[in-house]
Amino acid sequence: MRSFLSLDLTPDLRSTLVTLQKRLLPFDVKLVEPENLHFTIKFLGDIDETTARDVSNQLTILLERYPSFDTDIRGVGVFPHLSAPRVVWVGSPGLCYLYAAVETAVSDHFSPNLAVIPHVTLARARSSRDHAALREFIETHRESVFGSMTVREVKLMKSIITPQGPVYEDISVFPLMLSHGH
């Protein structure tokens, strides 16, 4: 099953990002459906039931001791790089510690992919037609702040590809330890 580790967005954050997506409409991009917007912590690719179970066990051990936390959502970027943008995303520098901990926890099964940081995919470029204008948009919003959220759980999700686009389903939910003040 095609799977990934993710964080849900709050309704407020989702609507802010949908507004931001509308500003990408002049470019030759395909927007991610609003209901499919989420933070990808790590893309796992096609895994079998055994690997899913092992990953779930590792994450349960890690995350039940990992305190919930607040993080800012900020900065627009692209993968793979600005000269050839394929994916437009919004990031959160505050997720780097959670990301590093998750990478370590699942390192028996997956090699680290340090090029792909935690992100919300907003759109995918269809062609290189508008790259110069798109680069300008990215540069303008490189440090923009879009809100903040409290991270309380991580999800192991599966992606089912349909003709209408991907449909996401929860496989497992890993609550973080409640920190003081939350």
Residue 182 lies in a domain: no
pTM above 0.85, yes or no: yes
Residue 181 lies in a domain: no
Q: Model confidence at 151, in pLDDT bands (50, 70, 90)?
A: very high
- Answer yes or no: 119 catalytic: yes
Residue 108's pLDDT is 87
Which of the residues 38, 81, 141, 180 is marked catalytic? 38
Q: Model confidence at 129, in pLDDT bands (50, 70, 90)?
A: confident
Q: What is the CATH number of the domain that holds 13?
A: 3.90.1140.10
Which of the residues 81, 119, 141, 182 is marked catalytic? 119
DSSP code per residue over 134-170: HHHHHHHTTT-EEEEEEE-EEEEEEEEEETTEEEEEE
Residue 63 lies in a domain: yes
- Answer yes or no: 38 catalytic: yes
Q: Tell me the residue range of the domain where 15 lies.
A: 2-175
